[in-house]
Amino acid sequence: MPTQIKICGLKDEAGVDAAARAGATHIGLNLYEKSPRYLPLEHAAALRMRTPEQFKVVLLLVNAEPGYTAKALEIVKPDVVQFHGTETAEWLRVLKGVTSVEIWKALGVKDAETLKKSARYIGAADLLLFDAPAQALPGGTGMRFDWSLLADHRHEIPWGLAGGLTSANVAEALRQTQAPLVDTSSGVESAPGIKDMDKIAQFCKAVRDHDNS
């Protein structure tokens, strides 16, 4: 099965079009106000409407209040909501009981113990996104973690790989981890929050070349 590709932190129509044209499967829209990739709700909703139906739209939230989460889901109508903060499994289970939207949870991988503890999200998250540990801002840091930690991990929940992925290293990341989904943001930028259309194309090509090798 082809590797799924998420291009996160898209902010305009050109970026969405470039990701779709390059062969991405998921379009990521960031609602975290402190991020250079932040989008107001109305802008995110407009980009969601712009995105072709065959692509899944992922809405990124960080420790959002329940009321704002509900408003975001209502206005943007994403296919997936990705939580990138300290949201608990209990909270995600509550949300899962009241929405049909797919729920992802990003986890910063420090060591093997982090991976063991990920089992707490069984029944709470539809997918776990293994990322580098959070720095000043969660996500989009350009940092990676030790992929070898995933070698012996028994995945009990569908998962994806994030953290410092670029066109130069994504093939090696896939060889080491066999990740079914890869997620990049800063790895396809010319500056924080500024997507580079050529880098988006190069990243997706690197993934597809690996798939076909």
Query: Can you tell me whether residue 149 is helix, strand or coil?
Result: helix
Percent of the chain whose predicted confidence (pLDDT) is above 90:
89
Q: Which of the following CATH numbers is that of domain 4-211: 3.30.70.3340, 3.40.50.800, 1.10.10.10, 3.20.20.70? A: 3.20.20.70
Q: At what angle do helices 41-50 and 13-22 cross, to 10 degrees?
A: 40
The predicted-structure confidence for 133-179, as pLDDT tens digits, reads as follows 876 555 556 678 999 999 888 999 999 999 999 999 999 999 999 99
Joined tokens for residue 119 = 């089992």
Say how far apart CA 213 and CA 207 lie, in whole Å. 10
Say how far apart CA 30 and CA 195 lie, in whole Å. 13
**Contacts (Cβ under 8 Å, ≥6 apart) of 155:** none
Burial class (CB in 10 A: 0-12, 13-18, 19+), 84: buried
Say how far apart CA 188 and CA 204 lie, in whole Å. 10
The CB density around residue 96, as the number of other CB atoms within 10 Å, is: 17
pLDDT of residue 29: 98
